[in-house]
Every structure is written in C-alpha cells, then in structure tokens.
Structure 1
Amino acid sequence: MTTETHTPATPYGTPEAPRVAVRGEARLEVDPEIAGIAITISARGTDRRTALEDLTRRNATALDLVKTYGEAVEKLETGAFSINPELTRRGRGEHIRAYHGRVRLTVELTDFTALGELTTRLSDLELTRVDGPWWALRPTSPVYAQARTAAVREAVVRAREYAEALGTHLVALLELADDGSENTSMDTSYPVAAGYGGMMRGAAAPEAAPALDLEPQRQTVHAHVNARFTMAPPQL
C-alpha cells in the first residue's frame, strides 16, 4: 500500500520559482452616456375627486410632453403615487380641509440638448417640479471593459518592472483577481434644476423660457486587479 504525499503550496513561492504579487489600477474619465431627471407633479383640491382629476390631467400633460422627444428618451417610468387628506382641527374633532395628490416620474435621455429644452418646458407646467439632472454611464458601457483591460496591462507592466529590477523575467501568471470597477462620478442626489411652474389654472400661459444650457458631468471609472506571477530565479 502506497501513500501519496502532497507538498503544501506556499503563498510566497520557492527559490526555484519565486513569486511577485502586484496590484493593477486604471482610472478613466469619459463623457456620460445618459442623463436623468425626476419630475414631481402635484395637485390640491377641496375634495378627493377634484384633486385626483387635476393630478391625472397634469400627469398626462407631462407624459405627452416627454414622449414628443421620441428616441432622445431612453426610459420613462412612473414611480410613487399618493393622494392624502389635509386635516384641520375644528371644534373637538378633525375635519378634512383639502386633498393633496402627487405622482413622480423619472426620465433618462441620451440627447443632452433635448434634456435642457425638456427641463425648461416641464418646469413651465402647473405645479410641476423638476429635479436633476444626474449623469451616468449605462451598466453595459464598454468603458468598464476598457478600464479593466487597462488595469490588467498595468499589473503586467508593474510585475515585469519588478522582475527586471532583479535581473530576471516573468515566467507564468498564477492568479488574477478582479476587485471590480466602479463609477465614482455618478450623481443620484437629485439636485434641484427647476422649481414649481408658476402657471396656475385659468391664467394666461407665459412666454416660453429659453432652454437650459447644461454641461454634462464627466464620469470617472476605476478598475483594480490583483495579480501573482512566477519569475525565473534571479542571480542575487
């Protein structure tokens, strides 16, 4: 009966096959691919039906306006909806003074010229608030692959420099660990770009405001890899 013996691997290599461990990093700054805005539409009425009808009408107006921009709009979604009573104390009890309705839309666009125009036109609507823009890359953007590739190349160059400093060369790759990549410039804090529109029901529509001139925020993408190589034994 024979017993096999396995020599445990050492993370530090051996004199015959020394190892070098390095970290490769890459940082790319690129233009954003999409921009988003958040639209909050409000309504107030003395009874629930009036508030709901006004909210439905204003929501339809905003949706129709956004849809006129066609392919410039990549995503249009309805988020939170609410309608709730405003209570007031009268005598010994509480009574409903009014009803408040609110619906929230989110829009993502790829045409940043259209973004400035749409933002201005939306903020001209009744009781409509526009927050944004925030800038981002698509999750499938090729920029992430470019950053990872650059990080791997940087790791190889760094390991080769260490080997050459010892008068030797790299032999084989043992491990390549991806630390992930991240976009550090994506802004999702919804800064206010325009406030509530001042046009109330029954008032004459004001002259159209000029489109906002919006400068896209550059996006920074980081990628990191850890790599281990073996080297030919150096002559020390």
Structure 2
Amino acid sequence: MTTPTPLPYGTPDTPRIAVRGEARLEVDPEIAHLGITVNARGTDRRNTLEDLTRRNNQVLDLLKSYGDTVEKLETGNFTITPQLTDKGRHERIRAYHGTVHLTATLADFTTLGELATRLAEHDLTRIDGPWWALRPDSPAHREARRQAVHEAVQRAREYAEALGAELTAVVELADTGAENTGLPGYPPAAPGGMMRTAGYGGAPAPTPALDLEPQRQTVYAHVNARFTMTRPVL
C-alpha cells in the first residue's frame, strides 16, 4: 500500500504558508573593468600588423607597469580585415584594418582615472568603461540572501499571527536567484566613451587624471519559502 503524497497546501490541522522573501542592498563596487581597443590601419598588410603589434605592446607595457593594481589583464579578439574598394569591376584591397581587444580589471580605484587617461593618449586606442562590479564571492551576495530569508520568516510569522497561530516548521526554501546589476560580461552600468588625445609638437603636457566616482551596486536576493503552522483560531 502506497503512502499518499501530502498536499502542497497542507491540511486543516497542519496548514502551510507560502511566502516570498526579498532583499535589496546598495553597496560600493569592489572592482572596475576597462575595455581597451587598439587599432591600426594601412595600405600594406605587413605594416599594419607591425603597427598593431607595436601599439599593443605599448598598451601592455603601460598596464603591466602598474603592477598588482591591475589584478587581471586579458586579451580578447584579434582581427585583421581587408577593406575593399567601393567601385570598379574588380575587387581591390585599398587598406587593412587591425584591432586587438583587451580587458583590464582593477581593484585600486585611486589610480583608475590616471590609467584611463594615459591609455587614451595612445594613438588609435579606444577606452571604454569603467564598468563597476562586485566580485562573484562578495559578502554582499551572502548578506542579501540572509536578509531575504529573514524577511520570508518574518512575513510568514505575521500571517500566522494574524490567524492566531504560530509557525512550527519550514518545509521548503527555494532560491530564486541572487544577482548583481554589474556582473561579467560587463554591462554598461557606467560606461565611458572613447578617450583619445593627440600631441602636436613641443614637450608633452602632464597627463590629467580623470576623477572617476565609483557607482554603487545594487544586489538583489529572492527566496520562496513554505512553512507549517498550528491550527488557526477562526
């Protein structure tokens, strides 16, 4: 003889309460990402590759000169694209366009503005960002989940008390997701535009440092919970 499956909504003697717990925190970011795109153009493929390699190495040397300030440095896509003439019977290559994409991750925001402007001084170099974010193991995620569970318990207790009953047990706790608005792959929470400067003779002026204010991050947590309670007094 099989045992009947308990009903999800409980019984008159052991009613169940289903509630949703939510939490929303605003915290300071822990890291910032800069997107760097190095470009080169020319009518000769080899010369274009050499220019791209030289500019890429200059950017890498600058980033590495900041030591542990740059926590992570990653190279993304590399492309070299022939550009064809718009008119004519025969397709002819009129130029080559090469790009290298890099991403730098920093936790020391005191040098972020200086680094961004120094990178922007490089020819045909585009800077995007910063994208502020929390680390995947940030304590803020844990605190949001804790507060969401606490709210679920408090909400269920209030429903039970309204019926003259008390909570007796938790029978289910389902995590419906805890997410940060600024997770990788780096949605534009606070995007910067292209930054590029050029010098025209004479001694170079000191590089100005941008004053970049970190954008606070919003962390959400949601849980669904079911509890049993004593028989209500109706």
Structure 2 length normalisation: TM-score?
A: 0.91
Residue number in structure 1 paired with 2:195: 195
Asked if the contact 1:42/1:101 (under 8 Å) is kept, the reply is: yes
Write the letter of the residue equivalent to 1:38: G
Asked if the contact 1:119/1:194 (under 8 Å) is kept, the reply is: no
Structure 2 residue 213 is matched with structure 1 residue 218: no
Match runs of 1:9-158 below 5 Å: 9-88=6-85, 92-158=89-155
Instruction: Write the deviation string for residues 193-225 of structure 1: whole angstroms up to 9, x where unpaired.
Output: 33333248xx55631331000011111111011
Alpha-carbon separation, structure 2, partners of 1:152 and 1:121: 46
Runs in 1 of length 4+ with deviation above 6 angstroms? none
**5+ residue gaps, structure 2:** none
Instruction: Write the deviation string for residues 58-114 of structure 1: whole angstroms up to 9, x where unpaired.
Output: 100000001111111111111111112222267643332222211111111101121
Asked if the contact 2:131/2:182 (under 8 Å) is kept, the reply is: no
Asked if the contact 1:133/1:193 (under 8 Å) is kept, the reply is: no
Residue number in structure 2 paired with 1:232: 230
Alpha-carbon separation, structure 2, partners of 1:158 and 1:90: 71
Residue number in structure 1 paired with 2:161: 164
Give the RMSD, CA atoms, in angstroms: 1.9
Alpha-carbon separation, structure 2, partners of 1:18 and 1:90: 78
Alpha-carbon separation, structure 2, partners of 1:114 and 1:184: 24
Aligned length: 231
Mean Cα deviation higher: 219-228 or 88-97: 88-97
Alpha-carbon separation, structure 2, partners of 1:176 and 1:64: 50
SS at structure 1 position matched to 2:193: strand
Write the letter of the residue equivalent to 2:52: L
Write the letter of the residue equivalent to 2:230: A
**5+ residue gaps, structure 1:** none
Taking every aligned residue pair, what percent have the same amino acid on both sides?
64
Are residues 89 and 185 of structure 1, via their aligned partners in 2, closer, same or farther at CA, if it must alter by over 3 Å?
closer
Are residues 130 and 205 of structure 1, via their aligned partners in 2, closer, same or farther at CA, if it must alter by over 3 Å?
farther
Asked if the contact 1:167/1:235 (under 8 Å) is kept, the reply is: yes
What's the CA shift for 1:140? 1.4
Structure 2 residue 5 is matched with structure 1 residue 8: yes
Instruction: Write the deviation string for residues 11-32 of structure 1: whole angstroms up to 9, x where unpaired.
Output: 2211211111111111111011
